[in-house]
Chain A
Amino acid sequence: MAALIYLSVAVFLLGMGWRVFTWLRAPVPLKIPLTPGPTTAAGVVGRMAGEVFLFRSLFDADRTLWVAAWIFHVSLVLLAVGHVAGLVVPDFAASTLDLTPAQFSHLAYVTGGVFGILAVVPLIYLFIRRFTMERVRHVSTLSDYLALALLFFAIQTGNHMRFMGDLDIVQAREFVAGLLTFRPVPPPHSGPFVAHMLLVCVLVAYIPFSKLMHLGGIFFSPTLNQPNDSRQQRHVNPWDHEASKA
């Protein structure tokens, strides 16, 4: 189990590293920001923040999809934060929030439950949308359904543990601590836990080989991250030697 987790994390890191390398090794020869756009670096940070945190363009494109996508992504991030708080640094998290261990576990139960559900409901919508909306169905590939399915089952097995209450949280914390200190201990004896871990492993390892790499890719998008300053600052094309030496 531990070996598999290490392997999937390694695949993720190396895979995403390779992806980012392939994006960065290709230069941006011409200025192609979408205009009107920010003309300064601070403006670009603002534009990117709007896209990354608020999905600004999607908001204008498809309001229903935006609601689903935004709730899903926010829930996913909060679930990740919750996992760190509850499994890695529970004492620190509880004391930061000024809660007793019992209160903290109650809070974890509620927030984990709420965001666990808020994450899967949009996934169900995305699946139905992909299947029923003619335009989207037409362009959907197997990998699109696979990504949805992986996410759905990974989160759903987590929800199962939460609501069916068959996980020993202390054992889970020890397992995570073992992983993080590279002194792995056996995982809790729980079917859903093992299933959850397996699905998350597959998901994480799959990211660099699938469209899920958009989570890193968006930061490199030249139409969004270039300042619109072609007339203030000369932009050099590194592979056009004749033009770049001038």
Chain B
Amino acid sequence: MKPPKLNPGASANQRSHRAKKELLMPLGLPAEMPSDWQAVALRKLDELRHQYRSLQLYLDICVRCGACADKCQFFLGTGDPNNMPVARAELLRKVYRRYFTPSGKLGGRLAAAEDLTDKVLDEWYAYFYQCSECRRCAVFCPYGIDTAEITMAAREIMASVGVATKYVTEVVKKAHEIGNNLGIPEAAWRDSCQFLEEEMKEETGADIKIPVNQPGAEVLLVPPSADLFANTDTMIGYAKLFHAAGVSWTTSTYASEAGNFGLFLNYEHLKKVNKRLVDAAKQLKVKRLVIGECGHAWRAAQAFMDTLNGPLDFLDAPRPEHICEFAARLIRDGRVKLNKTANDGVVVTYHDPCNVARAGGMLEEPREILRAVVSDFREMPADTIRERTFCCGAGGGMLADELMDVRMKGAKPRVEAFKTTGANFLATPCAICKAQLPVAFQHHGVEAQVGGVMDLLGKAIVI
């Protein structure tokens, strides 16, 4: 996509609803902004720059070369200069310079330093929640400066003074209280599993189970909870895979969510949400922990879980494992029989979810599976896939209705790339992409289906 002309303030009004005290207090966040909020926020910034080398370094070394500027889908879509990664980061840098560097303390505005005011906080709230923490900018930065690290720090600082979004805090609260982001209680979980079992029985005639809380199973599968309601074909895909390969497995109603919105709020909640998965795996005495089709879940699991709540050596390696790795291995080993013709008419392309590609390093397995189950697999242009993939436009806690305008604009680079393929099915292992892209397709006038890798695998598996 060609970079747009700058349109200052174009998406300044795209803001998530603010979390009120009913959501802030249960998460241990201040119910109201303290009267000395600047001091609290600056203390938090100081603390974080001592805790994260990434933050300290990335505040210091940016040369503002602009290599990242036209790489962000939110800038490409909105033209708002504050959505250029370098400018987004400068929103925090100018405050860092003002209070923590000699040049900023002495030079003030001349040194591009600025006081932390209500206006600055307001900008932070708008633009650090218009970053999906997708890391595409970092791929192109000559120093690997990852704006996601800056965004996460800014969100953590804001949270420390009681400024957070309703969407993210609501989801985190549900994950703590119920075990999943949708707030599905155990009874409803069991019902849905049973319903899908009946559906599969009707389709295949076989008794394919979706086990719940089954101790001693080989695999604990933790899907995004959306797979049980919105993306049921994905759930059916998992079930058929385990059934066909003869692998015992279970879901857990304690850890019924792979996604981790703590990642979009602060370290404490990232860790706490993550812990449920480890505890469930221990309690159910499984050998393997397999993560379902959720993008940022894969980052939280493969990159952070061992650090946050490990050691994970009670599990068999690789720990944890992604469902696509697991499935690709079973296919390679000939453990499942596939019939490509079941997907005849499907022209598929693969959308790398940002976290799976750039933060989870999984690029080959989903493609390997798709090539095995569909006869017509096509790639989108090379600068829009693999580690250069565009975010769907709703990751990082942006899948809120009130952000629809910036979401649709942010999705445009992905949709444009999709259009070049002639595909009629976009496969992607991420519940957020699956929720966002159908809306974006409709918005941008594209008629195509969006689904999981497991959806197509499930259809091709011979039972």
Which residues of A are at the interface with B, using a C-beta cutoff of 8 A? 19, 22-32, 34-37, 51, 55, 57-58, 60-62, 65, 69, 133-136, 138-144, 209-211, 213-214, 217-218, 220-224, 228, 230-231, 234-237, 239-240, 243, 246
Contact = CB atoms under 8 A, between A and B. Distances in A.
A230 B302 contact: yes
Contacts of A231: 302, 306, 317-320
State the main secondary structure of chain B at its contact with A.
Answer: helix
Contacts of A142: 110-112
Contact of B307 (A218, A228, A236): A236
Contacts of B101: 209
A184 to B, nearest CB: 29
Interface of B: 3, 5-6, 49-58, 60-71, 81, 84, 86-87, 90, 101-103, 110-112, 135, 138-146, 149, 267, 271, 302-304, 306-312, 317-320, 357-361, 363, 386-388
A60 to B, nearest CB: 6
Given A29-B51, A30-B307, A61-B140, A138 B81 contact: yes
23 contacts: A22-B56, A28-B52, A31-B304, A34-B135, A34-B146, A36-B363, A51-B144, A57-B144, A58-B67, A61-B140, A134-B5, A135-B69, A136-B69, A139-B90, A143-B112, A209-B102, A210-B103, A214-B63, A217-B57, A221-B144, A230-B302, A234-B310, A246-B310
Nearest to A133: B66
A11 to B, nearest CB: 12
A65 B65 CA distance: 9
Contacts of A133: 66
B393 to A, nearest CB: 20
Contacts, number: 203
B309 A243 contact: yes
Contact of B64 (A28, A30, A61, A144): A144
A23 B50 CA distance: 9
Given A27-B53, A69-B65, 6 more contacts: A27-B52, A34-B138, A34-B387, A211-B61, A223-B138, A243-B310
A230 B57 CA distance: 22
A31 B142 contact: no
Contacts of B358: 34-35
A32 B306 contact: no
Q: Which of B141, B302, B318 has the most chain A CB within a 10 Å cutoff?
A: B141
B6 A134 contact: yes
Given A139-B84, A139-B86, A211 B63 contact: yes
Contacts of A213: 60-61
B54 A211 contact: no
A58 B145 CA distance: 12
Given A30-B307, A62-B67, A228 B361 contact: yes
Contact of A246 (B50, B57, B87, B311): B311
Contact of A139 (B64, B103, B139): B64
Contact of A217 (B61, B102, B318): B61
A230 B139 contact: no
A143 B66 contact: no
A221 B145 contact: yes
A134 B52 CA distance: 32
Contact of A29 (B144, B306, B307, B363): B307
A65 B67 CA distance: 8
Contacts of A210: 103
Contacts of A35: 357-361, 387
B368 to A, nearest CB: 15
B111 A32 contact: no
B306 A230 contact: yes
A21 B301 CA distance: 31
Contact of B54 (A28, A58, A62, A246): A28
Contacts of B363: 36
B76 to A, nearest CB: 11
B395 to A, nearest CB: 16
Nearest to A136: B66
Contacts of B63: 144, 211, 214
Nearest 4 Cβ contacts at the A-B interface: A35-B361, A217-B61, A61-B140, A223-B144
A66 B278 CA distance: 45
A39 to B, nearest CB: 9
Contacts of B304: 30-31, 230
A197 B262 CA distance: 53
Contacts of A36: 361, 363, 386-387
A225 B149 CA distance: 15
Q: Which of A27, A30, A139, A213 has the most chain B CB within a 10 Å cutoff?
A: A139
A19 to B, nearest CB: 7
A218 B143 contact: yes
B306 A23 contact: no
Contacts of B146: 32, 34, 223
Contacts of B57: 23, 26, 217, 220-222
